[in-house]
Structure 1
Amino acid sequence: MLVCSLHLQRTRFTCLPVVFAFLCTGLLSHEANAIDPAEAATAWFDKVLSGEVVLTAQPSGTDASEAPHLELSTNSQEAASEFAVTLWQAYRDAATTQGWQQQIPQPSRVGRTTSSGQSAPSTPPTQSIDIIEMESSDGQRMPCCLLQKGDKPPNGWPLFICMHGGGKYFGKEKLTDPHGWMVNSREFTTQIALARKVYQPDGMYFVPRMADDNRGRWFHQHNLELFQRLIRGCILFYDVDPNRVYITGISQGGYGTGHLAPLLADRFAAASPMAGGAEVVYENLRNLPFRSEIGEHDTMYRRIELAQKTHEKLEELHQSDPGGYSHLLSIQKGKGHGIDYSPVPNWLSEHTRNPYPQRVVWRCHEKDGFYNPHFYWLSVTEVPSSGYYHIIAEIDRETQTIEINAHQNPGGKAEEGDITANQPLSSTDLVVHLNDQLLDLDEPFVIKVNGQVQFSGIRARTPSTMARNLAIRGDLNYAFPVDIVLKLHETPQAEPAH
């Protein structure tokens, strides 16, 4: 399944009837009657966010009917950067019109936590914690709250996603109330208390409760949908820094962290499971710092054994790729399943996401029927029908070259460490998203896939591409002005310089 907006569904991009016209802010239209660019952009986002216009993974520009014709007045980094400000405000205005802010919890202010565990005065705290239910597109209801602690840093709030322990109800009969298992309710309350009184860094803390105790796992699609909605909404309305979003969890929440961090690694700045160990897709953690916090005697369900295995694998990967795979295994001596959770948020908060890593290692794999079609500056237009894709891409800015190794394994299971993806990737087109942080877009560049040149030339920056990528990714860092579609089953051709 393909994520194109906030819903986990495959969609198609229809013809857009809105005419864009861009004036002195850096944009031009071929239409005689010019309109304000901010208003035009807002109108387009309104249609996208309402579902009137839907998007596929195939970028605009491959079909002239898919998007309005937009051009920068000057094909420059400065013009693109200037337009990004207008674009973000238009996106925010459209999201406000669509009522997105009402779909996420309001922040509840709590006192700052010091190293001694005492609550120090900050912004006056709210009298109570506001708990709401977020509802997914398939009707799953997730109780949750958002806590705001301390003072906002200059670049915006860090956001900590904190998943509780517990898990799946194993009674003989199915619960009639999906929130009826007292274990998950207790662990939810405990996680709120930890976020209020134990976790020290200033920031926003999102604490969700399991949406369905009969299913009881954090990797289900409804959680993916709601977590991504929460992240987008907090960036839009609460000034969360998109480069400082963290994920952590205790016990079952630790398992969830191990599953979700590799799947959505491009969303997070760091990840840390606590009191949990599981098989994970290690390779995807190349650019995501990963810490496991676990007790020395936490042997049930092989937790410490699996945590140790994870970090052995990460160390092997780090040795072969020293620029990546930052990781830490912290074993608390004498402890079992109950450990000190306070070190983890401090460690998480030390990290900032780099949305444009020079090297990307991506195993496009499935979790509860969901494949993430985007990963940093790469996308696929079709996710695997089975198995996984294995893609390694590296940029050399000095030579203006991108080298990609792309393969597929229709029968492989990524979590089991199967690395036999030896068929050249042909089941999908591959999209390379570019900006001036990755390459000098004023100069020609070359993209090779499996040793063969797939693109050679220059591609102009376009605001329609920026708008489209922002609508899909919900993150201005990923509003790339250039998309190169590599049709891997076709004969590549060089493009002339524009």
Structure 2
Amino acid sequence: MPFLYRKPRGLLPYALYLPQGEPPEGGWPLVLFLHGSGERGRDGKRQTRVGLGPAILENPQAWPVVVLMPQCPEGEWWRGETLQKAYALLGQVEVQYRTNPRRVYLTGLSMGGHGCWNLACLYPERFAAVAPVCGAGDPFWVWQRLGKVPIWNFHGAADEVVPVSFSRALADALAKAGNVQARFTEYPTEKHDVWNRVYRDPGFIHWLLSQERTVV
């Protein structure tokens, strides 16, 4: 079974991917993945079927990480109490699986891309790197809070759901904040499902897993 499924009381249902073999010195890296609006629900499984989950199953050797995939309830968004519950799950998984506190990563797509910007702004010191995919956020908050966080933001210029102009505005905000570790890749022909390209890109995977916080 590639994913473990859990429904903890008071928190969100979630799926967990655990890599094979012994963890490296310092513990496995940990990725928090926030899904899009189409994967909301209560089964704890739907969020594994779009985006990061399929990419991992196609090539698990490329992802030597623990991956936490909480599920957002129907009608909710990655903000407020729901986002805080996802953050609480992150802390629990860290303790239970003794993951590497210097190598905690955040990524998500569409609605989850929005959630990435929100959570990173709330806890900018928490993540070694952040990778939103076709999301959006508050440029002022990003300018104020994310001047030092390694970020690689992705968007398709032909996105028919979330306009690429949102990501362009955030790239401008990061530049104005002086974030020299921020990157923005805009694919000229990709549509909303740009995540299918991003999560299979060896260059992106290498970049993400090479990031490490110097202070914990």
Which TM-score tier does this pair reach, normalised by the shorter chain? Answer: 0.7 to 0.9
Partner-residue secondary structure (3-state), 1:330: strand
Q: Which residue of 2 aligns with 1:209?
A: 71
Q: Which structure has the highest strand share of the two?
A: 1
**1:235 to 1:187, Cα distance in 2 relative to 1, 3 A:** closer
Question: Cα deviation per residue 1:404-452 (whole Å; 9 max; x = unaligned)?
Answer: xxxxxxxxxxxxxxxxxxxxxxxxxxxxxxxxxxxxxxxxxxxxxxxxx
Amino acid at match of 1:155: G
1:237 aligns with 2:96: yes
Of 149, 159, 163, the match for 1:298: 159
Question: Cα offset for 1:160?
Answer: 0.5
1:247 aligns with 2:106: yes
Question: Cα deviation per residue 1:345-373 (whole Å; 9 max; x = unaligned)?
Answer: 43221211133xxxxxxxxxxxxxxxxxx
Q: Which residue of 1 aligns with 2:188?
A: 333
Q: Which structure has the highest helix share of the two?
A: 2
Per the normalisation by structure 2, the TM-score is 0.83
Q: Which residue of 1 aligns with 2:26?
A: 155
1:129 aligns with 2:3: yes
Q: Which residue of 2 aligns with 1:166?
A: 37
The answer to whether the 8 A contact 1:146-1:205 is kept is yes
What is the total number of aligned residue pairs between the two structures? 206
Query: Which deviates the most, 143-152 or 200-209?
Result: 143-152
Of 195, 198, 209, the match for 1:349: 209
Q: Which residue of 2 aligns with 1:145?
A: 15
Higher relative contact order (CA 8 A, sep 6+): 2
C-alpha separation between the residues in 2 aligned to 1:155 and 1:168? 33
**1:299 to 1:349, Cα distance in 2 relative to 1, 3 A:** same
The answer to whether the 8 A contact 1:147-1:196 is kept is no
Per the normalisation by structure 1, the TM-score is 0.38
1:193 aligns with 2:54: yes
Partner-residue secondary structure (3-state), 2:12: strand
* Aligned residues with identical type, % of pairs: 21
Question: Cα offset for 1:238?
Answer: 1.4
Question: Cα offset for 1:166?
Answer: 1.5
The answer to whether the 8 A contact 1:148-1:204 is kept is yes
Q: Which has the larger radius of gyration?
A: 1
Question: Cα deviation per residue 1:365-408 (whole Å; 9 max; x = unaligned)?
Answer: xxxxxxxxxxxxxxxxxxxxxxxxxxxxxxxxxxxxxxxxxxxx
C-alpha separation between the residues in 1 aligned to 2:35 and 2:109? 6
Q: Which residue of 2 aligns with 1:371?
A: none
Question: Cα offset for 1:163?
Answer: 1.2
C-alpha separation between the residues in 2 aligned to 1:345 and 1:239? 22
C-alpha separation between the residues in 1 aligned to 2:19 and 2:177? 36
The answer to whether the 8 A contact 1:218-1:253 is kept is yes
Which runs of no fewer than 5 residues in structure 2 stay unpaired?
none
Question: Cα deviation per residue 1:124-163 (whole Å; 9 max; x = unaligned)?
Answer: xxx4532111333xxxx52211111245221211000111
C-alpha separation between the residues in 2 aligned to 1:287 and 1:351? 13
CA-based RMSD of the aligned residues comes to 2.5
Q: Which residue of 2 aligns with 1:266?
A: 125
The answer to whether the 8 A contact 1:133-1:142 is kept is yes
Amino acid at match of 1:285: L
* Aligned pairs for 1:438-457 within 5 A: none
C-alpha separation between the residues in 2 aligned to 1:298 and 1:353? 32
Partner-residue secondary structure (3-state), 2:82: helix
C-alpha separation between the residues in 1 aligned to 2:91 and 2:45? 26
